């Protein structure tokens, strides 16, 4: 059943129109396809732009990519230059082309974003310089990794024409909750100053298995975030015994709201703000 479903989805995706895009192209409503409770993005080619650094100058375009971007084989870059997927200053160049400092290099890549759940991103409050929304789980806040359009910022731009938006804080992709976005850089900076001054606090509510202790629990450990793998681990150690503790300090207060003996509803108040902090402490 699973294999048949995957084959069906793959066939449907092949029928989707491939679209050429650049960073200047905003997400639009017709970019999204809803199927089986998921939000898909039509495949597209995206222009990744970089400018030649001084240390890159004097290298051939192919050697530059092969030495600086080692995620793909040399032959790929030769082919990409020949067919125009890699361009310099908007023009096709030969594989022997020598790059010069400050030139614009464009690399057009086929993007096939992972699907997210097909939940809406409802606007709870909209003011001249602030918008507050309900972020659904599975949807990242802003473009990152494999996601660009399947993000809260992308959906708000496509469906409500809200742009630019500046996330004041963020929630992990798998987390749902209130999300505040500033509508200009000045307001965003003001919010950041208030957060740093401790005037704004976050609170999470989690459902956990088991009967959580009635008394407030304070957990103070280190969270070691691996950006490459996109996951974190909690590190506990004692500096007195010479053990090496990795990660950043993370302190969280947990308070039981209710329990039925099988599950508990718990209030989680992070004192620090680390990636995956709350998730890794249960």
User: How does pLDDT run across 203-262, given as a tens digit for each residue?
Assistant: 889 899 999 999 999 888 888 777 666 677 777 755 444 455 677 888 889 999 999 999
What is the CB neighbour count within 10 angstroms for residue 52?
Answer: 20
Tell me the C-alpha distance between 212 and 205, whole Å: 13
Q: How far is CA 25 from the centre of its chain?
A: 19
- Of 196, 219, 249, which residue constitutes the final position of a domain? 196
In a domain, 229, yes or no: yes
Tell me the C-alpha distance between 273 and 202, whole Å: 9
Residue 240's pLDDT is 44
Is residue 74 over pLDDT 60? yes
Q: How many domains are there within the chain?
A: 3
CATH number of the domain encompassing residue 219? 3.30.2350.10
In a domain, 180, yes or no: yes
In a domain, 12, yes or no: no
* 3-state per-residue secondary structure call for 207-232: EEECCCCCCCEEEEEEEEEECCCCEE
Tell me the C-alpha distance between 131 and 16, whole Å: 33
CA 57, 62, 63: angle at the middle one, nearest 5?
60
User: What is the chain's mean pLDDT, rounded?
Assistant: 85
169 and 232 share a domain?
A: no
- Of 162, 196, 230, which residue constitutes the final position of a domain? 196
Can you tell me which residue has the tokens 């699973």? 2
Count the helices and strands in the chain (H runs, E runs).
6, 16
Give me the domain span that covers residue 246.
Answer: 204-280
User: Mean pLDDT over residues 148-168, rounded?
Assistant: 94
Q: Which residues face 157 on adjacent strands?
A: none
Is residue 201 over pLDDT 90? no
CA 116, 121, 122: angle at the middle one, nearest 5?
160
CATH number of the domain encompassing residue 22? 3.10.290.10
Of the CA atoms within 13 Å of residue 204, those in its CB half-sphere come to 22
Tell me the C-alpha distance between 211 and 39, whole Å: 36
Residue 16's pLDDT is 41
User: What is the SS3 assignment for 9?
Assistant: helix
User: What is the SS3 assignment for 131?
Assistant: strand
pLDDT digits (tens, 9 = 90+) for 136-157: 999 999 998 889 999 999 999 9
**Radius of gyration for the chain, computed over Cα atoms and rounded to the nearest angstrom:** 23
Q: Which residues face 21 on adjacent strands?
A: 46
By the 8 A CB rule, do 25 and 102 touch? no
Nearest by Cα to 169 from 138, 145, 204, 127: 204
> Is there a catalytic annotation at residue 172?
yes
In a domain, 4, yes or no: no
Residue 130's pLDDT is 96
Token digits of residue 203: 């609170």
Q: pLDDT tier at 274 (50, 70, 90 boundaries)?
A: confident
Of 98-107, 192-201, 249-258, give the range with the top mean pLDDT. 98-107
In a domain, 245, yes or no: yes
Strands 177-182 and 217-226 come out as unpaired
Q: Which residues face 225 on adjacent strands?
A: 232
Residue 195's pLDDT is 83
pTM of the complete model: 0.69
Strand residues in 4-84 grouped as ranges (E): 19-21, 32-35, 38-41, 44-51
Catalytic residue among 31, 120, 129, 172: 172
- Encode burial over 99-137: b for 16+ CB neighbours within 10 A, e otherwise: beeebebbbbeebebebbebbebeeeeeeeebbebebbe
155 and 85 share a domain?
A: no
Token digits of residue 136: 């659904």
In a domain, 178, yes or no: yes
């Amino acid at each position: 059943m699973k294999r048949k479903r995957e084959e069906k989805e793959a066939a449907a995706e092949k029928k989707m129109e491939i679209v050429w895009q650049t960073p200047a192209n905003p997400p639009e409503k017709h970019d999204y396809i809803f199927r089986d409770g998921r939000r898909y993005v039509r495949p597209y080619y995206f222009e990744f732009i970089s400018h030649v650094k001084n240390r890159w100058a004097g290298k051939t375009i192919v050697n530059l990519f092969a030495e600086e971007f080692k995620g793909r084989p040399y032959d790929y870059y030769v082919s990409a230059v020949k067919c125009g997927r890699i361009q310099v200053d908007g023009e096709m160049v030969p594989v022997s082309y020598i790059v010069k400092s400050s030139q614009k290099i464009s690399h057009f890549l086929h993007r096939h974003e992972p699907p997210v759940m097909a939940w809406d991103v409802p606007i709870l409050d909209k003011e001249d310089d602030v918008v507050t929304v309900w972020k659904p789980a599975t949807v990242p806040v802003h473009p990152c990794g494999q996601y660009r359009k399947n993000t809260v910022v992308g959906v708000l731009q496509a469906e409500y024409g809200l742009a630019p938006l500046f996330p004041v804080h963020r929630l992990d992709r798998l987390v749902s909750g209130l999300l505040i976005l500033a509508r200009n850089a000045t307001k965003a900076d003001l919010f950041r100053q208030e957060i740093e001054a401790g005037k704004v606090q976050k609170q999470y509510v989690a459902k956990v298995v088991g009967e959580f202790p009635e008394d407030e629990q304070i957990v103070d450990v280190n969270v070691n975030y691996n950006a490459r793998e996109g996951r974190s681990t909690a590190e506990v150690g004692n500096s007195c015994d010479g053990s090496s503790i990795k990660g950043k300090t993370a302190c969280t207060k947990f308070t039981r709201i209710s329990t039925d003996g099988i599950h508990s509803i718990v209030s989680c108040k992070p004192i620090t703000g680390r990636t995956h902090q709350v998730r890794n402490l249960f």
